[in-house]
């Protein structure tokens, strides 16, 4: 029977696993981006029952190579151009290691003073790096907190918006009998609709606002009309979600106009910058934040493009009391002197879960290792590589770019149409060397190439374009015959 791992055993095996991860990072570019095995292949490699006695570490270590790696989609692969990036980095992994080793449960200041205060300061650091309005700093009435994802941030913002729209009565009576409404563009993330369901608003209360066909950004006039119609019909608008960097195309909603409309109607404005918010570490890309002074809450995911491993969503509010009052539940067993003093932040009141791990450590490690200049260099590299790829696409008359590309995502297609574009994507992904995804833009099938993996270089961009160009020749020949 295996007992608890001793400090010496942990030290020895920990060194082995650090070496394993380092070797993986060095070799990941030589692996297929995605596994070729069918569904169920990984499960078939595992025993049907857990071991009766503890296994030796050597067997476990070997199974990482024989069971886990063959079944992985490699998000850190330099040829991973799918979805949005999910960066990690050495400092982030080490920060997570320390947090896991400490094993703190930071639900209250009293249960982890350092966990709470490091998080508060890290969120202020991030706000400063992004040039966010000072109203989001903890030294004002606002402040930041780490959520697990932008989906959770959307839910928390929805609950805060409901609390405001219901005059505080929503917390005791719920949404039954009242018609609350939520607004986002047709390009807004699916998590906004899911948040409305979880909060009890339901699909009937979600308004998908049309976008400009050219920019794919929310139409402020259509938003105003929808708000006016709902108010006239007796509804209570609870939340508007504007997006900086939509998932399909990275469109940027016009915050100044949207913010003024929200202020006029007294509705909570949440800004979802899950992917593109990281770009604001570069001053030349902060144009996306024009109008952010109108926002009640804002979030972005360092775990997408800022070298911080999943999960880590940075969420700020301009008025923390508005958030806390919507979410606070205080059972007797959580009462303590520090909380009662009012002198501390208890992050249990800032999100859905009570329990909280020490996620701020990886942010601390990342920001201290890279500094502002290192993070800016990473973002600028992605933007530059995307621009290089877009220039190659634009120079080939067989292709067209279908949306603006201010960040590191390029949306493009074959002019020959949907079937040809879909076949092209299938051929590229079948090589195992690169992985792209698709979306629909104004009804047309479009390929998405999202750059962001730390190891991606000009050579990878040039090679994927070469593959696309060659495959396009074959695809177009087949469709012409």
State percent of the chain over pLDDT 70.
Answer: 98
Residues 376 and 463 in one domain: yes
Residues 295 and 433 in one domain: no
Could you tell me if 470 and 440 are in contact, meaning their C-beta atoms sit under 8 angstroms apart? no
At 60, the pLDDT band (50, 70, 90 cuts) reads: confident
Residue listed under structure tokens 């696993």: 17
Return the C-alpha torsion angle 211, 214, 217, 218, nearest 10.
Answer: -30
User: Average pLDDT over the chain, rounded to whole?
Assistant: 93
Could you tell me if 77 and 99 are in contact, meaning their C-beta atoms sit under 8 angstroms apart? no
Query: Of the residues 307, 332, 357, which one is the last residue of a structural domain?
Result: 357
Residues 446 and 339 in one domain: no
Residues 392 and 452 in one domain: yes
Q: DSSP state, 20?
A: H
**Is 247 part of any domain?**
yes
Poorest-pLDDT segment among 132-141, 171-180, 183-192, 430-439 = 171-180
At 175, the pLDDT band (50, 70, 90 cuts) reads: low
Cα atoms in the 13 Å half-sphere on the side-chain side of 78: 18
pLDDT at 166 over 90: no
Residues 124 and 250 in one domain: yes
**Is 158 part of any domain?**
yes
pLDDT at position 57 is 86
Contact partners, residue 229, CB within 8 Å, separation at least 6 = none
Residue 31 tokens read as 């692996």
Minimal CA–CA distance to 290: which of 248, 245, 244, 247? 244
Q: What is the pLDDT of residues 334-362, one digit of tens each?
A: 898 878 888 888 899 999 998 999 999 99
Residues 349 and 375 in one domain: no
Using CA atoms, how far apart are residues 150 and 278, in angstroms rounded to an integer? 13
**Is 95 part of any domain?**
no
Q: What is the pLDDT of residues 234-245, one digit of tens each?
A: 999 999 999 999
- Please provide the DSSP assignment of 79-122 as one string: TB-SSS-----HHHHHHHHHHHHHT---SSTTT-HHHHHHHHHH
Query: Of the residues 357, 385, 410, which one is the last residue of a structural domain?
Result: 357
pLDDT at 480 over 80: no
At 110, the pLDDT band (50, 70, 90 cuts) reads: confident
Total structural domains in the chain?
2
Residues 342 and 371 in one domain: no
Residues 353 and 414 in one domain: no
Using CA atoms, how far apart are residues 134 and 136, in angstroms rounded to an integer? 5
**Is 132 part of any domain?**
yes
Residue 335: which domain range? 104-357
Give, in degrees to the nearest 5, the angle at Cα 304 between 275 and 82: 85
Q: What is the pLDDT of residues 9-33, one digit of tens each?
A: 999 999 999 999 999 999 999 999 9
Residues 154 and 286 in one domain: yes
Residues 312 and 424 in one domain: no
The residue length of the chain stands at: 481
pLDDT at position 172 is 57
pLDDT at position 177 is 64
Q: What is the CATH number of the domain that holds 458?
A: 3.90.1150.10
Residues 168 and 306 in one domain: yes
């Amino acid at each position: 029977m295996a007992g608890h791992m001793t400090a010496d055993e942990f030290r020895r095996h920990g060194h082995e696993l650090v070496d394993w991860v380092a070797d993986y990072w060095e070799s990941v570019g030589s692996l297929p981006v995605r596994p070729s095995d069918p569904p169920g292949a990984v499960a078939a490699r595992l025993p049907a029952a857990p071991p009766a006695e503890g296994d030796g570490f050597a067997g476990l270590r070997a199974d990482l190579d024989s069971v886990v790696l063959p079944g992985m989609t490699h998000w850190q692969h330099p040829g991973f151009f799918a979805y949005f990036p999910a960066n990690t980095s050495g400092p982030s992994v080490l920060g997570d290691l320390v947090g896991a080793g400490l094993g703190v449960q930071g639900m209250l200041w009293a249960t982890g003073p350092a966990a709470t205060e490091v998080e508060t300061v890290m969120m202020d650091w991030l706000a400063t790096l992004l040039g966010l309005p000072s109203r989001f700093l903890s030294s004002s009435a606002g402040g930041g907190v780490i959520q697990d994802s932008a989906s959770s941030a959307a839910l928390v913002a929805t609950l805060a918006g409901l609390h405001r729209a219901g005059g505080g009565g929503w917390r005791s009576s719920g949404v039954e009998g009242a018609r609350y409404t939520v607004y986002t563009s047709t390009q807004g993330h699916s998590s906004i609709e899911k948040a409305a369901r979880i909060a009890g608003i339901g699909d009937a209360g979600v308004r998908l606002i049309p976008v400009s066909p050219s920019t794919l950004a929310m139409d402020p006039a259509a938003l105003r009309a929808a708000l006016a119609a709902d108010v006239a019909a007796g509804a209570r608008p609870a939340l508007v979600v504007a997006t900086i960097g939509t998932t399909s195309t990275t469109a940027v909603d016009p915050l100044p106009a949207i913010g003024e409309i929200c202020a006029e109607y007294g509705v909570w404005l949440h800004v979802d910058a899950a992917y593109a918010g990281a770009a604001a570490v570069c001053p030349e890309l902060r144009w996306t934040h024009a109008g952010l002074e109108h926002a009640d809450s804002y979030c972005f995911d360092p775990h997408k493009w800022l070298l911080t491993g999943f999960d880590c969503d940075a969420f700020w509010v301009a008025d923390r009391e508005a958030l806390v009052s919507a979410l606070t539940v205080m059972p007797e067993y959580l009462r303590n002197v520090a909380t009662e003093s009012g002198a501390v932040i208890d992050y249990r009141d800032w999100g859905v879960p009570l329990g909280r791990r020490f996620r701020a450590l990886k942010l601390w490690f990342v920001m201290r290792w890279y500094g502002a200049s290192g993070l800016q260099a990473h973002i600028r590299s992605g933007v530059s590589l995307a621009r290089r790829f877009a220039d190659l696409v634009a120079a080939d008359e067989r292709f067209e770019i279908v949306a603006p590309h201010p960040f590191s995502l390029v949306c493009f297609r074959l002019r020959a149409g949907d079937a040809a574009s879909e076949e092209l994507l299938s051929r590229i992904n079948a090589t195992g060397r690169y992985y792209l995804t698709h979306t629909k833009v104004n009804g047309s099938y479009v390929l998405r190439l999202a750059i962001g993996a730390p190891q991606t270089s000009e050579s990878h961009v040039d090679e994927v374009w070469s593959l696309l160009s060659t495959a396009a020749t074959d695809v177009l020949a087949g469709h012409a015959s």
